[in-house]
Amino acid sequence: MTVEIKVPSVGESVSEVTIEQWLKQEGEAIERDKTLAVLESEKATVELPAEASGTVKKLLKKAGDTAQVGEVIAIIDTEGKPTASTTTTAAASKPETKPAPAAPAKKSAPVPETKVEVKAPAAPAKAEPAPAPVSVSPPPVPTRVSAEPVDAGGEEEIVPMTRLRRTLARRLVEAQQTAAMLTTFNEVDMSAVMALRKEHGEAFLARHGVKLGFMSFFVKASVDALKLVPEVNAEIRDENIVYKNHYDIAVAIGGGKGLVVPVLRNAERLSFAEVEIAIGDFAKRAKDNKLKPEELQGGTFTISNGGIYGSMLSTPILNPPQSGILGMHAIQDRPVARDGQVVIRPIMNLALTYDHRLVDGREAVTFLKRVKDAIEAPARMLIEV
């Protein structure tokens, strides 16, 4: 009996994927639910499990090929056993790698000489390009798989963009072309939050198994501000404004293949510990490219923390169709005036980029001021004043 392996649905509006890697080859045994291939969509990298145990009878696509959702890309023979050909191929592949000993043969015929002979016909026409063969050297380059870097002569390296990176680039350009983006700034004194973390950090870690970070404070402060200024949590749909009565906060994270923005669903219902645990889990799985497509969809507002990379100030770009994104930055000790005295305080710059078609300057400033007030007096978030 044979089982067809089809490309599964990997997210709303995603119609095709790229086969990044086959983990099993034809003739090899595989168990049910074990990963057969790694697929890359425009939103995430996902693993394709085998739907039955047996032997891989046929791979209908090569690594690097694209496939449509629902398309058959492999066939598993549930009654098959690993073929002798696989062992033979495996054994044969080793002798093929043994041409490594053929290296001595290359020594007898130095590489520079072969290059000169290949380019010799062109030498009379152009005497000066003679050095070119050295920089353009490895002839095997054109035979490389398209997903691998290409040596363009030592001074450049040509690397095809991943599907995820291409989609990110397209969406960023679309955001600038379709939204009237404007950014407003403020600064926040982090003294109160840092004091709370110092006082309760050890107990928090012991109880919840995760450190009390800054992100949970900013997620809760953003929810508080979004309730006050609902336009920032809304979106423009056709000629209508859609107000959201839920707060799904997307958190920008650097993943293994680029920026990903997983979503904290119903963040208003989450405790500080639940926020920190969820973000930690997102960050770990983002590095391993294990995030699920549905975890990257449907956010109503985004928070991006460039401060972890040392950024002091930036203008974040909207994540359409959202109308607002909050940018956090590095904390720096600065002199500030307090009660007529100049004192040193840990200060962070905040930036709110918003869609001016929907959010006016007054609402944007009000939102950012609310976040500032909540961070500088975090107890207010607990008593909702």
Helix axes 191-208, 361-376, angle to 10 degrees: 60
How many angstroms separate the CA atoms of 185 and 326, rounded? Answer: 10
**Direct distance between the N- and C-terminal alpha carbons of the chain, in angstroms, rounded to an integer:** 66
Q: How far is CA 225 from CA 104, 229, 237, 248, in A?
A: 71, 6, 22, 14
Angle at 119 (CA atoms; ends 117, 123), nearest 5 degrees: 110
Stated as kind and residue range, the H or E segment containing 349 is: strand 341-355
Q: How far is CA 348 from CA 40, 69, 247, 276, 328, in A?
A: 37, 45, 24, 20, 7
Q: Is 65 assigned a catalytic role? A: no
Q: Is 360 assigned a catalytic role? A: yes
Catalytic one among 208, 281, 356, 373?
356
Q: Which residues have CB under 8 Å from 76's CB, separation 6+?
A: 2, 3, 5, 30, 50, 51, 52, 54, 55, 56, 57
Contact 236, 266 (CB under 8 A): no
Residue type for position 42: E
Q: Which residues have CB under 8 Å from 51's CB, separation 6+?
A: 3, 5, 32, 76
Catalytic one among 33, 65, 288, 360?
360
Catalytic residues: 356, 360
